[in-house]
Structure 1
Amino acid sequence: MSDKIPEGNRSARERLAQQREREKGREKRRRTLIVASAVVGVLGLAAVVGLIAANAGKDDGGDSASGPAVAPSGAIGEAALTLPVGAADAPSTLTIWEDFRCPVCAQFETAFRDTITELADDGQIRVEYHLATIIDGNLGGSGSLRAANAAACAQDVGKFAPYHDVLFSNQPPEPDDAFAKNSRLIELAGEVEGLDTPGFRSCVEDGEHDSWVKKSDTAFREGGFQGTPTVLLNGESVFPGKGDEQISPENLKKWVAEANKGKKPGTATPAEGSTTPSAPADGSAPADGSGAASTPAEGATTPAAPSSAAGS
């Protein structure tokens, strides 16, 4: 038998091989096109996600909040984010980060209000309040922001401490965003003598300190704190405890006494209703150069009970 392939069969095989090569080429081009389209799709999605994230950051407040951050009168400290209550020269400082919607904050206040008030009135501590809005972020709504703005409006006229107490005493259930209503915040102001004025109402309704509150919340989130309440005695965390000891009214008094050993009580308490100039929007010190705050709400320097919620 001859081993030669007939010319007709050879041509048929060559045509079949060429067709297969063409099909492989088309398949390769198709796969390349699919991969390229997928890459473009992923990049497009990433761009959209990035845009959404950027816009979310703007809506979230902080430095992106519209308008300058107008600090309330008497606010002190870095960027004027601190609301002080008590003698400016007290030997110890109790720093409290709180959220008016935070239920653990209200529990903390209920348990420690009298103790903190006593320590502040005796010149043993100055309480420095900072406001956060983490519940708004966790559950939605704007009650944390609205209540904090109203508290800052109360600070403008030296009524922060008693209004702070009223807000926590009337805190709605955590899922209930009742504090989002300015009308409710104004209604509660009626429980603080001399607070419900046209000026206060305008401040609340216009959200005069909203950008300041958002700036404070940004400072809280960037501060590495675990949640509200965050409570520090001279910079050391004491909530839920210190070392092996759990916080309690008795232990708080003991820790303050230990910190103040050999030191004189503070006496530099501003007169009733006095306030220092509002801090400029750039966070620089008040024009008079005094770091001390106006504070006390009517009468003495009653510190509104701290409220911050652990791990809220």
Structure 2
Amino acid sequence: MTSNQKPTRSEQREEARARAKAQRELNAKKEKRTKLLVQLSVVVVALGIVGGVGAVIAIDSANQADAPVVGEIPANLTALGGLKVGIGLQAFTLDKTPTPDSTDPIPEIVMYVDYQCPVCQAFDVPNEAQLRSWVDTGVATLEIRPISFLDRASLNAYSSRATNASMCIANFEPDSFFDYHGILMNNQPAEQTEGATDDELFAFAQDAGAGTEEVKGCIQAKSFGDYIEQHTQKVLNNPQDGISVSGTPTILVNGKQYTWATGEELVSPENFAQFVQSASAE
């Protein structure tokens, strides 16, 4: 590539991944320092020694962004609470319908996910490249419908915070939603551990090209917390277009539910591709 050529989309993503790795390593170091500062501040308060405590508070306060004004429901979502992505990995919004010029029907893929769900990650990670290619080139559309019911599997309410972060992206930077979804899946914490902090969730947003102050404030304020709680209960307790969502992932292709009998089938891109082809033919 010459100095006058614009980096390709693939090159940009590779650079983003490299930055993400470096940022995660930096965040890990920062997190250790932050925990130490918190521990020290607790000891200082217990001893009645106030000197230096103000500095710790000032650091935390300086990192806060103003909570943005948002609606009760995140913008750009479909009627069933998903963010739909089409050709060029662009989001469907009120002003934009990213579909191919051809009038031929294309598969419509829908995924209900919880970002703390290990089975969701088991499906998503090996299928990410395939889904990316299909959607980017206009071979299929993908609608991701995040819900949150697995805070019980986290030591810091990661499920609901990650879902809120994804809704912040959908609301303010919808064209970054697909990349952000992938970053969350690739960085899913193990069950019964602490997931990414709010600062780390925002760092992921920066890696996805959505590092705005509005997104930061939305993540820190958990602006869509009430919506997520109510929407999750609605999804789990009421059929969605005739489909009962009893857990995640629930994956649909043209309204037909994808199932698997073994773990090998779950993680197989070839198996899913065959299902998409079959469901599209029907």
Q: Which has the larger share of helix?
A: 2
Displacement of 1:258 in angstroms is 3.5
The answer for the alignment partner of 1:162 in structure 2 is: 179
Q: How far apart, in 2, do the equivalents of 1:236 and 1:220 lie? A: 17
SS at match of 1:84: strand
Displacement of 1:69 in angstroms is 6.6
The answer for the alignment partner of 2:205 in structure 1 is: 189
* One-letter identity of the residue aligned with 1:215: Q
Instruction: Tell me, yes or no, if structure 1 residue 205 matches structure 2 residue 220.
Output: yes
Q: How far apart, in 2, do the equivalents of 1:124 and 1:219 lie? A: 31
Displacement of 1:259 in angstroms is 3.7
Displacement of 1:176 in angstroms is 1.2
Given that 1:69 and 1:215 are in contact with CA atoms closer than 8 Å, whether structure 2 keeps it comes out as: no
Q: Percent identity?
A: 24
Task: Work out which of the residue numbers 230, 235, 252 in structure 2 matches 1:232.
Answer: 252
Displacement of 1:239 in angstroms is 2.8
CA pair 260-123 structure 1, distance change in 2 beyond 3 A: farther
CA pair 241-119 structure 1, distance change in 2 beyond 3 A: farther
**RMSD between superposed Cα atoms in Å:** 2.8
Displacement of 1:118 in angstroms is 1.9
Instruction: Tell me, yes or no, if structure 1 residue 177 matches structure 2 residue 197.
Output: no
Displacement of 1:169 in angstroms is 1.3
Q: How far apart, in 2, do the equivalents of 1:106 and 1:133 lie? A: 14
Q: How far apart, in 2, do the equivalents of 1:82 and 1:92 lie? A: 16
Output one character per residue of 1:153-174: Cα deviation in whole Å (capped at 9) or x when no partner: 1112121111111111111111
Output one character per residue of 1:240-297: Cα deviation in whole Å (capped at 9) or x when no partner: 269xx945322322333344449xxxxxxxxxxxxxxxxxxxxxxxxxxxxxxxxxxx
SS at match of 2:232: helix
* One-letter identity of the residue aligned with 2:273: K
The unaligned stretches of length 5 or more in structure 2 are 1-69, 88-96, 100-104
Bigger CA radius of gyration: 1
Given that 1:69 and 1:212 are in contact with CA atoms closer than 8 Å, whether structure 2 keeps it comes out as: no
* One-letter identity of the residue aligned with 2:74: P
Given that 2:258 and 2:275 are in contact with CA atoms closer than 8 Å, whether structure 1 keeps it comes out as: no
TM-score scaled by length of structure 1:
0.54
Displacement of 1:113 in angstroms is 0.6
Instruction: Tell me, yes or no, if structure 1 residue 99 matches structure 2 residue 114.
Output: yes
SS at match of 1:148: helix
TM-score scaled by length of structure 2:
0.59
The answer for the alignment partner of 1:146 in structure 2 is: 161
CA pair 199-69 structure 1, distance change in 2 beyond 3 A: closer
Q: How far apart, in 2, do the equivalents of 1:239 and 1:108 lie? A: 11
The unaligned stretches of length 5 or more in structure 1 are 1-67, 263-312
Given that 2:164 and 2:222 are in contact with CA atoms closer than 8 Å, whether structure 1 keeps it comes out as: yes
How many residues are paired up? 190
Any residues of structure 2 matched to 1:219-298 within 5 Å, and which?
A: 219-222=234-237, 223=239, 224-240=244-260, 246=265, 248-261=268-281
CA pair 142-96 structure 1, distance change in 2 beyond 3 A: same
* One-letter identity of the residue aligned with 1:85: V
Task: Work out which of the residue numbers 73, 77, 95 in structure 2 matches 1:75.
Answer: 77
SS at match of 1:134: coil
